[in-house]
Structure 1
Amino acid sequence: MTPAAIDPTVRAEQTTELQIQNRTLEMQLLHESLARAHMQDRLQEAEEQRLVSRVVRARKLRQRAERASMRARKALAVALM
């Protein structure tokens, strides 16, 4: 027979140690999960910011093109008169 089968205190100590290891592992996994969720949020925020930047740049370029078009029309109108 093994000492654990004979002495219940050895079995209780092993069980307690195993429970502590499980809690430690659960806490580690919890921290990893939290870090993963935080990183996912940061990546999503960065992607949204890039999208906003692209939209703002496109709007500025469109306005610049519209102004250039108006100048060209005015210059053409003056040239035809």
Structure 2
Amino acid sequence: MNNYTNRSHDMSLMHEELARAQMSARLGEAQASRRGHQVAMARRLSRKAERAAQQARLALARL
């Protein structure tokens, strides 16, 4: 009976470890996705600022 209990406990620990590993992997994927989204937003805002600066330069050149 004791041998069966030890195996059951070991299996339980393995399942917990697997769940922890999967959770860690998902958190890593979520962080990478957020980083990608932030980089894309930064690029978009940078292009928008560049366009605004160019329009301001053109407006000043017309004066």
Matches within 5 A, 1:46-65: 46-65=30-49
User: What runs of 5+ residues in structure 2 fail to find an aligned partner?
Assistant: none
Aligned equivalent of 2:12 = 28
Q: Which has the bigger relative contact order, CA under 8 A and spacing at least 6?
A: 1
- Figure out how many residues of one structure are paired with residues of the other and give that number: 63
User: What runs of 5+ residues in structure 1 fail to find an aligned partner?
Assistant: 1-16
Pairwise CA RMSD of aligned residues?
0.4
Runs of 4+ in 1 over 4 A off after TM superposition: none
**Percent sequence identity over aligned pairs:** 46
The TM-score, its normalising length taken from structure 2, stands at 0.98
Shift of 1:30: 0.4
The TM-score, its normalising length taken from structure 1, stands at 0.77
